[in-house]
C-alpha cells in the first residue's frame, strides 16, 4: 500500500480483477498506474465542464509532470449528457484523437461521466481500458465500481449500455470538499443503501456517526471504504447481475421512475435523491406486504430526514406524477413477466431480498395511496 492510500481493496474477477485505492492525495499515483497499464500510452480525459473547471488543471498537471500525453473532452454536466447524441460525440472525438487500443480513457467526474466514459471505452476499438477517478461521493461509493456503463433512453434510465470493468479505481477524498452540499447528501443515499441491503451494523454506525461524515471526519473515509468493500464483494459474486447483484437496486426501481418523470431535470431531482425516496418507498411497500415492521420504516425515514434527504414523492418540487406515468417507467426498468415485476424488497434493516413475483397491480395501488397522501 502506498503512503497516500489508507485503504486498498480488490474487486476479484480473476484476470480482470482491479484495485480500488482510497485516500487523500492519491491522484499523485496516477502516472504510476498509467505506466503499469499502458507504457508510453496516451490518455483521453473524459469529464464534465464543472469538474474540468474545478479540477481539470490539477489532473493535467499531474500528467504533464510525468510527461504523459493527454487530451480532454468535457461534456455538459448533468444526466442529460447520458444520451445517444452525446455518446456519439464522445466516441467520434475519441477516434479523432487517434487513440489506439492500448491507450487509456480516464473517467474524471461523477456518475454520469463514469457511465458515459465507460460505455464509450467499451466500444471504441472494440474495447479500451479505462481508469475511474470519481469526484462525487455517489460515484466514489457506487457507480465507479463494478463495470456498469451506459446511457439513458426515452424509455427509461440506463437501458442502453455494457458491462465493462475499469482497470483501476482511484478515489481521492480531497475532491469531495468542493462538492455542493446537495450533491454530497445525494451521494450519501448510496452509502445508506449498503447498510439497508445487508449490513445492518453499518447502518447503525451511520445513524450514530453521520455528523462526522458530513464534517469530513475520519468516518467519511471509513464509510467510503466499507461501501466499496460491500460493492466489490457483491460484484465479484455476481458480475452481470444474474442474482445477488440485483440487491444493489434497492430503491432504484422507484427512484429511476421518479427521475424519468422529471425528465432527468437535476434542478428538481438528482439521482441520489431519487434513490432516497425510492428506498423509503421500498420499505413502505414491504411493510404494506407485511414483510417488515413499521419500526424499520420509521428508522429509515428518521435517518434520511436527519441528513436532509427527501423521503416522499411530494418532496419533489413542481408537478406531481401520475400512477400511470410511474408505472410505465417501472415496467421498463424491470421487465414484466405475465404481469409480475422484480423488486428489491426487505424483511427489515439489512435484510433486503429479490422478489420476482410482485404484482404490478399491487405496486400501482401502493403508489396511488402514496401520491394521494
3-class secondary structure per residue, 109-174? ECHHHHHHHHHHHHHHHHCCEEEEEECCHHHHHHHCCCCEEEEEECCEEEEEEEECCCCEEEEEHH
By CB atoms closer than 10 A (0-12, 13-18, 19+), residue 15 is: exposed
Residue 71 half-sphere exposure toward CB, CA atoms < 13 A: 13
Average pLDDT over residues 325-341: 81
Average pLDDT over residues 329-352: 86
- Pair type for strands 18-23 and 168-172: parallel
pLDDT reading at 2 higher than 50: no
Longest dimension (CA), the chain: 61
Q: Give pLDDT, residue 6.
A: 77
Q: What is the pLDDT of residues 282-312, one digit of tens each?
A: 999 999 999 999 999 999 999 999 999 999 9
Whole-angstrom distance, CA of residue 306 vs CA of residue 319: 26
- What is the signed CA dihedral for 42, 48, 50, 56, rounded to 10 degrees? 0
Whole-angstrom distance, CA of residue 305 vs CA of residue 321: 22
pLDDT reading at 40 higher than 90: no
Q: Give pLDDT, residue 156.
A: 83
Average pLDDT over residues 275-286: 98
Element counts in the chain: helices (H) and strands (E): 14, 11
- Whether residue 231 contacts residue 146, with contact meaning beta carbons closer than 8 Å, is answered with yes
- Confidence class for position 333, pLDDT limits 50, 70, 90: confident
- Whether residue 188 contacts residue 136, with contact meaning beta carbons closer than 8 Å, is answered with no
User: How many Cβ atoms from other residues are within 10 Å of residue 237's Cβ?
Assistant: 11
Q: Between 296 and 357, where is the model more confident? A: 296
Chain mean pLDDT for the chain: 93
- Whether residue 323 contacts residue 368, with contact meaning beta carbons closer than 8 Å, is answered with yes
Contacts for 292 with CB less than 8 Å, ≥ 6 apart = 283, 286, 346, 347, 348, 351
Report domain 5-178's class. alpha beta
pLDDT reading at 212 higher than 70: yes
Q: Which residues are catalytic?
A: 126, 148, 190, 231, 241, 245, 249, 252, 256, 271
Q: Give pLDDT, residue 1.
A: 34
Average pLDDT over residues 110-136: 96
- Whether residue 38 contacts residue 103, with contact meaning beta carbons closer than 8 Å, is answered with yes
- Confidence class for position 373, pLDDT limits 50, 70, 90: low
pLDDT reading at 5 higher than 80: no
Q: Give pLDDT, residue 4.
A: 52
Q: Give pLDDT, residue 3.
A: 44
Average pLDDT over residues 106-116: 97
Average pLDDT over residues 53-69: 96
- Confidence class for position 336, pLDDT limits 50, 70, 90: low
Average pLDDT over residues 76-90: 95
Q: Is the pTM of this model over 0.85?
A: yes
Cell 429511476, located at residue:
256
Q: How far is CA 278 from the centre of its chain?
A: 14
Average pLDDT over residues 27-31: 95
Specify the CATH number of the domain 181-372.
1.20.1090.10
- What would the grid cell of residue 213 be? 461524515
- Confidence class for position 337, pLDDT limits 50, 70, 90: low
- Whether residue 288 contacts residue 280, with contact meaning beta carbons closer than 8 Å, is answered with no
Contacts for 260 with CB less than 8 Å, ≥ 6 apart = 156, 157, 329
The domain spans of the chain are 5-178, 181-372
- Whether residue 283 contacts residue 300, with contact meaning beta carbons closer than 8 Å, is answered with yes
Amino acid at each position: 500500500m502506498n503512503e497516500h492510500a489508507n485503504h486498498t481493496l480488490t474487486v476479484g474477477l480473476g484476470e480482470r480483477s482491479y484495485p480500488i485505492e482510497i485516500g487523500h492525495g492519491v491522484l499523485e499515483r496516477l502516472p504510476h498506474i498509467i505506466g503499469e497499464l499502458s507504457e508510453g500510452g496516451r490518455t483521453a480525459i473524459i469529464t464534465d465542464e464543472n469538474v474540468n473547471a474545478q479540477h481539470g488543471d490539477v489532473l493535467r498537471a499531474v500528467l504533464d509532470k510525468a510527461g504523459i500525453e493527454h487530451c480532454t473532452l468535457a461534456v455538459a454536466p448533468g444526466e442529460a449528457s447520458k444520451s445517444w447524441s452525446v455518446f456519439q460525440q464522445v466516441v467520434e472525438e475519441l477516434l479523432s484523437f487517434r487513440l489506439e487500443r492500448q491507450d487509456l480513457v480516464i473517467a474524471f467526474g461523477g456518475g454520469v461521466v463514469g457511465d458515459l466514459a465507460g460505455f464509450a471505452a467499451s466500444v471504441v476499438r472494440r474495447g479500451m481500458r479505462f481508469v475511474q477517478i470519481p469526484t462525487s461521493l455517489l460515484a466514489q461509493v457506487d457507480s465507479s465500481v463494478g463495470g456498469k456503463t451506459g446511457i439513458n433512453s426515452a424509455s427509461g434510465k440506463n437501458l442502453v449500455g455494457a458491462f465493462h470493468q475499469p482497470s483501476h479505481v482511484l478515489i481521492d477524498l480531497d475532491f469531495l470538499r468542493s462538492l455542493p452540499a446537495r450533491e454530497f447528501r445525494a451521494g450519501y443515499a448510496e452509502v445508506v443503501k449498503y447498510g439497508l441491503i445487508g449490513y445492518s451494523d453499518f447502518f447503525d454506525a451511520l445513524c450514530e456517526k453521520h455528523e462526522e461524515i458530513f464534517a469530513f471526519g475520519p468516518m467519511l473515509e471509513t464509510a467510503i471504504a466499507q461501501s466499496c468493500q460491500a460493492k466489490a464483494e457483491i460484484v465479484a459474486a455476481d458480475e452481470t447481475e444474474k442474482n445477488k447483484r440485483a440487491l444493489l437496486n434497492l430503491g432504484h426501481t422507484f427512484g429511476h421512475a421518479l427521475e424519468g418523470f422529471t425528465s432527468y431535470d437535476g434542478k428538481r431531482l438528482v439521482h441520489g435523491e431519487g434513490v432516497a425516496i425510492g428506498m423509503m418507498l421500498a420499505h413502505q411497500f414491504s411493510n404494506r406486504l407485511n414483510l417488515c415492521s413499521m419500526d424499520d420504516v420509521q428508522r429509515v425515514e428518521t435517518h434520511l430526514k436527519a441528513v436532509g434527504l427527501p423521503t416522499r414523492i411530494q418532496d419533489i418540487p413542481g408537478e406531481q406524477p401520475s400512477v400511470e406515468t410511474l408505472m410505465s417507467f417501472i415496467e421498463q426498468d424491470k421487465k414484466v413477466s405475465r404481469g409480475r415485476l422484480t423488486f428489491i424488497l426487505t424483511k427489515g434493516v439489512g435484510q433486503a431480498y429479490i422478489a420476482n413475483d410482485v404484482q404490478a397491480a399491487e405496486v400501482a395501488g401502493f403508489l396511488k395511496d402514496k401520491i394521494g397522501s
